[in-house]
Amino acid sequence: MPRLIALYNVPDDPAAFDAHYRDVHALIVERYPNIRNIKLTKPIGVAGRESPYHLMAEMSFDSVADLEAALMSEAGAASARDLRNFASAGVTLFIAPDEAHG
């Protein structure tokens, strides 16, 4: 199932980040049209190094077309606007289209 993946850099204030994500941002993401699943994970580091990411959000859709339509929707625009309210440490977004490795 294709996923939109958001990797959030470690914020200055993790508790404030978590509260904003839970109380505001998650509610916007849940409004994405045709979103099938939202998986949130707190990455941990490997081999004694800290994880560069505080939160990974994996948002699943039936197709890449549905995913791209969600990003273009009103909720997608609201989500992008909301990033400035909690993700100033930076976020990396990409699509994992679920294709085979060639």
Binding map of its own copies across residues 67-96, x = CB under 8 A, - = no contact: ----x--------------------xxxxx
Residue 55 sits in the site that holds its own copies (CB under 8 A) = yes
Distance between CA atoms of 60 and 28, rounded to whole angstroms?
15
| Shortest reach from residue 20's CB to its own copies, in Å | 12
Residue in 69, 59, 61 with CA at minimum distance from that of residue 93: 59
Q: Which is nearer to its own copies, 85 or 90 (CB)?
A: 90
* CA gap 33, 71 in Å, rounded: 9
